[in-house]
Structure 1
C-alpha cells in the first residue's frame, strides 16, 4: 500500500490503542511518523516497530508549548509536515452531579485543547508555507466520538469535549481550505483502554476470525483521508467501527413554524409539540 509514501504524519496518543494502530498503518502506507505519547515506553515500542521512519515525541498536546514542540519535531526530524492526526485523550467518567471541577477541566483540556493546539501550530506552518509559494497538501483528522454526536450518560465532560471537536472540525475546514488543508473527523468505536469496560463482553473473534472491535479497523479510513487522493473531502464526520463506515449528518435546520410576529408564551405549547411530533431524535447513549 503506497497511499502515503514519504508523507510526514503526526499521530497523537500513538503509544497504545487506536493511535498505535494509526501509526503502524501509516508506516505500512509508506509514511514517516511522529509517534506522540505522554508515556515514553509505549511510544518507543511503536517507533521501534516502525523503524527509521519514526521518531518519538512525548510532549503534552494539551499545552500550547508542547503542541508547538510536537510540530517542530516533525519539521526537524523529517523536514516537513503533511498530516496531523489528533487522537490523544482519556476519560474521567462520573454522573454530572458527582463530577469534580478538576475532572471536567482535565478531560476538556486534553481532548478539546489537545486537538486545537496542535491544529493551530500545524495550520500556522502550512499557511506560512503556502504564502511563501510552497505547495501544501495538509490533512487533519480529528477524533470525536458517538458521545460527542449523541451524548453519553456518565460522560458529560467527555461528550462536551468531543462535541466541541466536531464543531471545531467544521470551522477549521472552512477557514483552512484556502491554504490547501482539509480537516475531517472520525467517531470511532473500538476496544481500547478507554473503552475496555464498555466493550468488556466483546472479545476478540475466535480462531483468527474478524474482530469487529479491533482498533486496527479504524485506521484504513484515517490513512485514506490523509492521502493526496482525499483532497476533495473536508468538513465531514465519519462514524467507523468494524467494517462499517458512515457519514454523520449532524445538526441541520428542521421544520419551521412562522407566525410573522412575536409569539406569546401561552401560544407555544401546541406549536412546539407539533414541531417535535415529526422529529426523530437519536437517544443519548445509556439513557
Structure 2
C-alpha cells in the first residue's frame, strides 16, 4: 500500500466565528480583550505564588502549573485568529495547522490531568489531613506534573502523527477559528476509521478516566465533610476545595456541552461559537475564581503589588 500524506495541499482556510465583514472589528476587540485578561490574570497568579513562600505548598504548586497551561492554551489559538482578522486573511499553512492542533490537544490534556491531580490533592488534605505532608511530598508533586506532561505529549503526538497520514482535498475550509482535530478528520478525503477508533479510545482513557477520578475524590471529600461535627469545620473544609470544584465544573460542563451539542446540531459555526466557552472563557475566569475567594492569593497579590510599586518608585 502506498503511504500518502497531504502533500497535495499547502494550506487550510479558517472561516472563523463569522464571515460577516462588519462583525470582524467587534470580534477582534472582544477576543483581544479576553486574551489579555487571560494572560495577565494567570501571570499574576504565577508571580504571586512564586514570590510568596507561604504559597509554596502542593495546592498552589499545581495551581501555578494550571495557570501556565491556561496561558499556553489560549496562546495556541487566539493570536492566530486575531492575526487573520487583522490581516483579513483566512489562511493557515498545513504545517501551522498540524502544529496548532498538536499544542491544542496537548494543553487540553494537561488541563484535564492537572484538574485531576488537584482533586487528588484536596482528597488527601481533607480525608487524610494527618498524613498530608507525608503523602503529598515534593517528589510526588513533581512526579504527578511530569507524568501529566508525558501522557499529554504522548497522546498529542499520536493524534498528530495519525493526521499526517491522512489525505485532504485541494481546497479545504475549516468552519472554526482554529485547527481542531475532529474538524480535520471530517475534512479528510481518505479513510479515518483508525483515527476515529484511536480518538474514541483516547477520550475514554484520558477524559472519562480522570473525570471518574475527580468524581470519586469528591465523593470521599463530601463524605468526610459530612462527618465533621462543627459547622465551622465543615465550612472551612469545603472552602479549601470550592474554587477547584468551580473550575472543574466550568471546564467539563462547557467542554462536554460543546461536543454533545455539535453531535446533535451538526452546525460547524454553532460548534465553533460554543467552543469559545472552554477555549477562551474558562481560562480567563480561572484566575478570578481562585483569587476572589482565596485569602492567601489576595494577600500574596497585595504583597507582590506593593513590592513592585516600591521597586518602580
Q: Which one has the largest radius of gyration?
A: 2
Greater relative CO (CA pairs within 8 A, separation 6+) = 2
TM-score normalized with structure 2 length: 0.29
TM-score normalized with structure 1 length: 0.31
More strand by share: 1
More helix by share: 2
